[in-house]
Chains A and B, each alone.
Chain A
């Protein structure tokens, strides 16, 4: 039965975040858990984090590429909230101590300029509601041991969101074909991977539309200023202290983050 034990599961994830000790996947005990169960837990967990004083400043979409969808065995993306406490700027130092088992991804972030409420939102609507796009990186992290996630597990775990770094250079969409925006990711100056916007659902604007429609089913509206992280343009890359990651996007410019050990405890 769906929605069972959502508060307990949310509490387990909350503790995993706090103690940085991962927990076994929920789907080990109950393989029948699906997306609806995952979102019920995500909602409870978000409630706990907001009660601590955090706030939602946008959303991330995950599982937006065909290879990832095949890997997880789904045919739609998933989403989770982006929390104000996890936002970094260009050039930021990011401490490993904030995470359990982080990896990094380069993405295009959409910054909304006007409200966007599903259902019925098209990619063209999404573009019209967008103030601009910017270079971004997401640190994905899993509170589930060894990233051994099925769909319900990752959805419950805020879609495996860890942190988000965005450039302040927000570029208007006009005249830009986001599908064809190229990206190179380097680690310590060496090329790690490349990609283009189309890696996200064929068109990052389609991700924004999907998100608006999916949130709309729950009566949630994307608001002006909200960030939408539209999904990785390449396979996620593990990180270590001392790494400098730089994602450079055609038309949008670069974003750099520096990974540090941080202080234990």
Chain B
């Protein structure tokens, strides 16, 4: 069996070369989700400080489609954060795609195996509009669940808007609009992530508890893509708008 180190190295090389690779599962037929997380953990060790987390496969429809019952998580490294107004350098990426997300900014540490959405909201300093730039290292985004977990759930770049306090906002119902070059390409409401974005974050906390980790004050959590992702190229502009939270505009060059 191919070693974990070798699998992680393959993904790191794809990032460095900006060249897509074939899914790891093509060569390692028994690859399971647990192994995927072990590969992801090796990538995390090499990635510098973790500034937060991201969730994937948070849509129930998507879960049914790929035959799973829970989301997947990835880590966010400080190096992958874009600041507001900073353009996306597409040349640094392989096949970038953008999706709108509700981002949680933690106000205090939160950990434990039985954390619920209400606990998450109580620990949240603010919620913000986010754009996640996915960049699967696998050609044409063809992968199995263990593959995508190993590939840090396709994390590429992310940008977070100015947070607003969560009190009085029903994140389940807030409208979400994704525009690509001025055209509305997709809409959703917050419920698209696991029925409620705070429930998705609660799952993350419970999942992290299993490995003795938790969320820390100041960390950000991308709570799951709310629409299908749109592929971007140099010259494109993507705008994510969420009712009550505002908008984030991302220029691609």
Q: Do A and B bind each other?
A: yes
Contacts A181-B243, A182-B173, A249-B173 hold; do A196 and B183 have CB atoms under 8 A apart?
no
A190→B241 CA distance, assembly (Å) = 26
Most chain B C-beta atoms within 10 Å of own C-beta, residue among A177, A190, A250: A250
Set B183, B187, B191: member contacting A199, Cβ < 8 A: B187
A202→B182 CA distance, assembly (Å) = 10
A194 touching B192, Cβ below 8 Å? yes
Set B170, B175, B176, B195: member contacting A191, Cβ < 8 A: B195
Interfacial residues of chain A within 27-82, with CB under 8 A of chain B in the complex: 66
Contacts A183-B175, A184-B173, A248-B173 hold; do A198 and B190 have CB atoms under 8 A apart?
no
By beta carbon, the residue of chain B nearest A253 is: B173
Interface size class of B (residues with CB under 8 A): 20 to 34
Contacts A177-B243, A182-B243, A249-B173 hold; do A195 and B184 have CB atoms under 8 A apart?
no
Set B60, B184, B190: member contacting A182, Cβ < 8 A: B190
A190→B242 CA distance, assembly (Å) = 23
B188 touching A196, Cβ below 8 Å? yes
Q: Which residues on the B side are within 8 Å of A233 (C-beta)?
A: 187
Interfacial residues of chain A within 174-229, with CB under 8 A of chain B in the complex: 177, 179-184, 190-191, 193-199, 202
Interface residue count for A (Cβ, 8 Å)?
Answer: 22
A251→B116 CA distance, assembly (Å) = 26
Most chain A C-beta atoms within 10 Å of own C-beta, residue among B60, B183, B242, B243: B243
B170 touching A250, Cβ below 8 Å? yes
A179 touching B189, Cβ below 8 Å? no
B175 touching A182, Cβ below 8 Å? yes
Q: Which residues on the A side are within 8 Å of B241 (C-beta)?
A: 179-180
B248 to chain A, nearest CB (A): 14
B176 to chain A, nearest CB (A): 6
A182→B170 CA distance, assembly (Å) = 10
By beta carbon, the residue of chain B nearest A201 is: B184
Interfacial residues of chain B within 97-130, with CB under 8 A of chain A in the complex: none
Contacts A177-B243, A180-B243 hold; do A198 and B191 have CB atoms under 8 A apart?
no
A195 touching B173, Cβ below 8 Å? no
By beta carbon, the residue of chain A nearest B173 is: A250
By beta carbon, the residue of chain A nearest B60 is: A191
B175 touching A196, Cβ below 8 Å? yes
Q: Which residues on the B side are within 8 Å of A182 (C-beta)?
A: 173-176, 188-191, 243
Q: Which residues on the B side are within 8 Å of A202 (C-beta)?
A: 183-184
Interfacial residues of chain A within 244-265, with CB under 8 A of chain B in the complex: 248-250
A180 touching B191, Cβ below 8 Å? no
B177 touching A196, Cβ below 8 Å? yes
Interfacial residues of chain B within 10-67, with CB under 8 A of chain A in the complex: 60-61
Q: Which residues on the A side are within 8 Å of B190 (C-beta)?
A: 182, 194
By beta carbon, the residue of chain A nearest B172 is: A184
A183 touching B189, Cβ below 8 Å? yes
Is B185 an interface residue, CB under 8 A from the partner?
Answer: yes
Set B184, B185, B189, B243: member contacting A194, Cβ < 8 A: B189
A2→B135 CA distance, assembly (Å) = 51
A190→B191 CA distance, assembly (Å) = 11
A224→B112 CA distance, assembly (Å) = 57
A212→B60 CA distance, assembly (Å) = 39
Bitwise, B187-220 to A at CB < 8 A (1) or not (0) is 1111110010000000000000000000000000
A18→B176 CA distance, assembly (Å) = 41
Set A179, A190, A194, A249: member contacting B188, Cβ < 8 A: A194
Q: Which residues on the A side are within 8 Å of B175 (C-beta)?
A: 179-183, 195-198, 250
Q: Which residues on the B side are within 8 Å of A249 (C-beta)?
A: 173
Q: Which residues on the A side are within 8 Å of B188 (C-beta)?
A: 182, 194-196
Contacts A66-B183, A250-B173 hold; do A196 and B195 have CB atoms under 8 A apart?
no
Most chain B C-beta atoms within 10 Å of own C-beta, residue among A177, A182, A190, A198: A182
Most chain A C-beta atoms within 10 Å of own C-beta, residue among B170, B174, B177: B177
A177→B184 CA distance, assembly (Å) = 15
A17→B221 CA distance, assembly (Å) = 52
A94→B215 CA distance, assembly (Å) = 48
Bitwise, B219-253 to A at CB < 8 A (1) or not (0) is 00000001000000000000001110000000000
Given A180-B175, A194-B188, A196-B176: 7 more A-B contacts, CB < 8 Å: A183-B175, A194-B176, A196-B175, A198-B177, A198-B184, A250-B170, A250-B174
Q: List 15 A-B contacts (CB under 8 A).
A: A179-B175, A181-B175, A181-B243, A182-B173, A182-B188, A184-B172, A184-B173, A184-B189, A190-B60, A194-B190, A196-B188, A198-B184, A198-B187, A250-B175, A250-B243
The 6 closest A-B pairs by CB, nearest first: A182-B189, A196-B175, A182-B175, A180-B243, A250-B173, A196-B187
